[in-house]
Amino acid sequence: MELNNSKAKRITWWQKNQVKISPWIFLAPGLIFFSIYVIAPIFVSIGISFYQWDGLSPSIYVGLQNYIELLDDEYFYISLWNNLKWLIFFMLAVPIGLGLAIFLNQIVFGIRLIKSLFFFPFVISQVVIGLIFTWFYQPNYGVIAPFLNLIGLEGFSILANENTATYGIIFAGLYPQIAYCLILYLTGLNNINPEQIEAGRMDGAKGFHLFWNIVLPQLRHATFLAIVVTVIGALRSFDMVAIMTQGGPYGYSNVLAYYMFEQALSEYGYRMGYGSAIATVLFTIMMFYILFFIYRMYRNEREDNN
Amino acid sequence: MKKVIISLIMMFGIISSTSFAGTLVINTDTSDAAPKEAFEYIIKKFEEENPDVTVKWNVFDHEGYKQSIRNFLNTDPPDVANWYAGNRMLPFVRAGLFEDVSDIWKDSGWVDGNLSENMEHAKKSMTIGGKQWGIPYTYYQWGVYYRKDLFTANGISVPKTWDDFVAACATLKAAGITPITIGSKYLWTTAGVFDYLNLRTNGYEFHMDLTLGKVPYTDPKVQAVFDKWDELVKPGYFLENHAALSWQEALTPMVNGEAAMYVMGNFAVAPLKEAGLRDSNLGFFQFPEITPGIPMAEEAPTDTVHIPSKAKNKTDAKRFLIFMSRADVQEEINKILGQLPINKNSSVKKGDPFLKAGLNMLNNAYAMAQFYDRDAPAQMASEGMKGFQEYMSNPDRRQKILERLEKVRQKVYK
């Protein structure tokens, strides 16, 4: 009797808690790897930023020294400023992508082929795009050289000029990013409720009004997603900079992500502490944005549930 | 068969932590064709002379090696690894990862003649804290490569003094030719120009003091270097848009006859010849004298071999280093590399005027600089070269740049 009882008890414990425990069992592998490879490195990296370390010799604790040095570092401000430029001008990808999506969202012969051609930049690797645009910008014999000659800028090199280099890279970066936003909007347009448009038409809405008040609100999710990927793309812009200018001329097209790499891991770098300090600053900027993003998502979901 | 095995090992780049007696593990960054062939040759020769030793050779990608060496010296040390002289080896020496090999340099019984004598001019760049940390096996000269035909067409003879040099630039510029080509996208080319201007204006000792952080960048002597540099930059004697071009891309104007000179290392000769230049229209001259009476020191980056302090087979590693220091071995390696041997008793490939000129120049050199980014510590070098590039695009910012470099210097050499 007693034996039976204890057995029953054990079963009931599992049965009682099964619903609570099983999600954690399923989540466990993901959580473990996420903590080892994402969460833990964040703290380790913040920790390293308080040290002076070349990756070989023993590290020396320097407190806030790296951050103090950052405040006095011209190149840091240039990189920060360039990150801001990226954030602002990279956003152009969203309206341009939307415009192209609406243009392509029609049923004519061969539209599938044309759509796939517009997707193409997104398929090509960033590195390849960077290389191709570097050739485009090549002074004297690049593709755009004749146009520059027309406006009297003979032999002008976009990537070698401190005032234009960043814009040159952002422009190259826009090329695949527009395609990305275009894809997001095209799928969004597929999900638009035709009845609402019909109803709008009946009520006399047309042209811009129809678009602004009926189509765009229904694309809200696509817009949100497009902005999110574009902001993240702008903040982590690294590959384009690495391929096209390596932060040059003399550091004027650097962004935080590349500057961090340059200080910590490049041939002349190996200042792990300083690189980590830059990474921490970049992380903080991203964190603000990510928190806002999570808050929006949470709010949206609550709205949907209500 | 041996060659097949070596190339198999090479292909897979196997790094094994197990090693048995008589196995010598060598890691090199010789992924380019000529250096790879050179090492293939010497390893074969070493094995023939030392039948009791089996060499296990791992070839790393040239660029990737700079990262890998930091890992393998600690975690999976080979018995021999190649690297570079000067301050480039300082971090490894300081971290205790390279073995002190001063005894090879001292003991004349091991080598044919005394190493310290045969390689005397390279000893300084292998010495840190009064000890030697490796064996140099090849170097190459820097200087001015020029288009002979363009010089002749404009009635210019090879400049020996600074005034001649500046005058030659003026003549070329007036003839619509870019006097000096340069591609500074990857920064280091600017350091070649700076090094030579400093070596010629202030001399070797001052240059070393500067790269060792003993002199401020705001020193009047550094200002004097930039005064000389101004004479080239301000009239626009350097290629326009150099910041957008790699050093190879900057060869094109020279090949096309649009530019006449290039301050470069001897490795530029091969691509220039591939692009169609011949000994008849491509020449070399020593960077001209600036301050009369200052002994001529040259830029000669040196490649070296070292024994990691955690190596398992140090006995055979030492044998290999001694082998690498021998005159006949260095002669053979450098014939394949198309570079110059360090050992004074070696001769060079016949019929190559550039090597001959280089050997002449270096054997008579007062001292050898390793190049700015090997003589100065990494952080100083990277900021310095950025500064040089900015100066070459904006000579008016000189003061601001030098003040910034001085700030960096005070931080780096604390």
- Report the alpha-carbon distance of residue B35 to residue B247 in Å, rounded: 20
Q: What is the mean pLDDT of chain A?
A: 88
Q: Is the model's pLDDT at B381 over the cut of 60?
A: yes
Contact A137 B244 (CB under 8 A): yes
Whether residues A43 and A72 fall in one domain:
no
Is residue A129 a part of any domain in this protein?
yes
Q: Residue B112's pLDDT is what? A: 60
pLDDT band at B350 (very low <50, low <70, confident <90, very high): confident
Q: In total, how many domains does chain A have?
A: 2
- Best B241, B252, B383, B394 member to test A by mutation, with max A CBs in 10 Å, is B241
Separation between Cα atoms, residue B225 and residue B196, nearest integer Å? 10
How many C-beta atoms lie closer than 10 Å to residue B113's C-beta? 13
User: Do A23 and A93 have their domain in common?
Assistant: no
Cβ-based contacts of B387 with chain A (< 8 Å):
250
Q: Is the pLDDT of residue B196 over 90?
A: yes
Looking at the structure, tell me whether residues A43 and A189 fall in a common domain: no
Percent of chain A with pLDDT over 90: 43
Find the CB nearest A139 among B94, B241, B389. B241
Q: Does B240 contact A155 at a Cβ distance shorter than 8 Å?
A: yes
The mean predicted confidence, pLDDT, of chain B is: 89
Q: For position A3, what pLDDT does the model report? A: 52
Three state DSSP letters for chain B: CHHHHHHHHHHHCCCCCCCCCCEEEEEECCCCHHHHHHHHHHHHHHHHHCCCCEEEEEECCHHHHHHHHHHHHHHCCCCEEEEECHHHHHHHHHCCCECCCHHHHHCCCCCCCCHHHHCHHHHHHHEECCEECCEEEEECCEEEEEEHHHHHHCCCCCCCEHHHHHHHHHHHHHCCCEEEECCCCCCHHHHHHHHHHHHHHHCHHHHHHHHCCCCCCCCHHHHHHHHHHHHHHCCCCECCCHHHCCCCCCHHHHHCCCEEEEEEEHHHHHHHHHCCCCCCCEEEECCCECCCCCCCCEECCEEEEECECCCCCHHHHHHHHHHHHCHHHHHHHHHHHCCECCCCCCCCCCCCHHHHHHHHHHHCCCCEECCHHHHCCHHHHHHHHHHHHHHHHCHHHHHHHHHHHHHHHHHHCC
pLDDT at A277: 95
Residues 186-205 of B with CB under 8 A from A: 186-187
Residue A183 has pLDDT above 50, yes or no: yes
Do residue A137 and residue A275 come from a single domain? yes
pLDDT for A252: 92
Q: Note the pLDDT of residue A258.
A: 94
A195 and A262 within one domain: yes
Structural domain contains residue A108: yes
Q: pLDDT value at position B14?
A: 42
- Find chain B residues with C-beta within 8 A of A265's C-beta: 67
Quick check: is A55 in a domain?
Answer: no
Set of chain A residues whose Cβ sits within 8 Å of the Cβ of B381: 268
Residue B130 amino acid letter: G
Residue B109 confidence class, pLDDT cut points 50, 70, 90 = low
Give the per-residue pLDDT at A156: 85
What local confidence, expressed as pLDDT, does residue B17 receive? 39
Interface of A to B at Cβ within 8 Å reads: 54-57, 69, 72, 74, 137-139, 155-157, 159-160, 162, 245-246, 248-251, 262, 265-271
Does A6 score more than 70 pLDDT?
no
Return residue ranges of chain B for CATH 3.40.190.10: 2-139+302-362, 142-299+377-412
Q: Which of B73, B239, B371, B382 to mutate to test the interface with A (most CBs of A within 10 A)?
A: B382
**Pick from A170-179, A263-272, B98-107, B392-401: least confident:** A263-272
* Proportion of chain A above pLDDT 70, given as a percent: 96
How far B190 CA lies from chain A's nearest CA (Å)? 12
**Residues A234 and A284 grouped into a single domain:** yes
Do B185 and A54 make contact, defined as CB atoms within 8 angstroms? Answer: no
Give domain status of residue A53, yes or no: no
With CB atoms and an 8 Å threshold, state whether B389 touches A246. no
Does the pLDDT at position A257 exceed 90?
yes
Same domain, A131 and A93: yes
A176 and A104 in one domain? yes
State the nearest Cα–Cα gap between B376 and chain A, in angstroms: 10
Three-class HEC string of chain A:
CHHHHHHHHHHHHHHHHHHHHHHHHHHHHHHHHHHHHHHHHHHHHHHHCCEECCCCCCCEECCCHHHHHHHCCHHHHHHHHHHHHHHHHHCCHHHHHHHHHHHHCCCCCCHHHHHHHHHHHHHCCHHHHHHHHHHHHCCCCCCCHHHHHHCCCCCCCCCCCCCCHHHHHHHHHHHHHHHHHHHHHHHHHHCCCHHHHHHHHHCCCCHHHHHHHHHHHHCHHHHHHHHHHHHHHHHCCCHHHHHHCCCCCCCCCCCHHHHHHHHHCCCCCCCHHHHHHHHHHHHHHHHHHHHHHHHHHHHHHHHHHC
Mean pLDDT of B284-288: 96
Chain A residues inside the 8 Å CB shell of B92: 56
Question: Do A110 and A16 lie in a common domain?
Answer: no
Q: Is the pLDDT at A112 greater than 90, yes or no?
A: no
Q: What is the pLDDT of residue A289?
A: 83
Q: So what's the ipTM on this one?
A: 0.78
CATH 3.40.190.10, applies to B142-299+377-412: yes
Instruction: Note whether residue A160 is domain-resident.
Output: yes
* pTM assigned to the model: 0.82
Contact B389 A250 (CB under 8 A): yes
> Which CATH number do you get for residue A266?
1.10.3720.10
Same domain, A140 and A246: yes
Residue B266 tokens, joined: 């001897």
A267:B94 CB<8 A: no
Inter-chain residue contact B92 with A56, CB threshold 8 Å: yes
Task: Point out the residue among B94, B185, B378 whose CB comes nearest to the CB of A268.
Answer: B378
Residues 360-379 of B with CB under 8 A from A: 373, 378-379
Task: Provide the domain limits for residue A39.
Answer: 2-48
- Mean pLDDT for the stretch of residues A125-145: 89
Confidence of residue A150 (pLDDT cuts 50, 70, 90): confident
- Residue B285 has a pLDDT of 95
**pLDDT tens per residue across span B315-328:** 999 999 999 988 88
Q: Please say if the pLDDT value at position A51 is more than 90.
A: yes
Q: Is there a contact between A160 and B70 if contact means CB atoms under 8 Å apart?
A: no
Chain A residues closer than 8 Å to B187 by CB: 248
- pLDDT tens for residues B112-132? 667 777 888 788 888 888 899
Whether A12 and A92 share a structural domain: no
Q: Which residues of A touch B379 (CB under 8 A)?
A: 268-269, 271
The verdict on residue A62 lying in a domain is no
User: Is A57 in Cβ contact with B91 (below 8 Å)?
Assistant: yes
Lowest mean pLDDT among A269-283, B70-84, B118-132: B118-132
Residues of A in contact with B97 (CB under 8 A): 56
Determine, for residues A57 and B95 on separate chains, whether the beta-carbon distance falls below 8 Å. Answer: yes
Phi, psi of B258 (to 5 degrees): -95, -15
**Residue A271 resides in a domain:** yes
The CA distance from A303 to B161, in Å, is 81
B8 has pLDDT over 50: no
Q: Please report whether residue A79 resides in a domain.
A: yes
Return the residue of B nearest to A65 by Cα: B411
Nearest chain A Cα distance for residue B130, angstroms: 21
Residues A11 and A130 in one domain: no
CB-CB under 8 Å, A262 with B91: no
Q: Is any Cβ of chain A less than 8 angstroms from the Cβ of B3?
A: no
Whole-number pLDDT of residue B110: 60
**Contact: A57, B186; criterion CB under 8 Å:** no
φ, ψ (nearest 5 deg) of residue B376: -90, 150
**CATH class of the structural domain B2-139+302-362:** alpha beta
Quote the percentage of chain B above a pLDDT of 90. Answer: 65
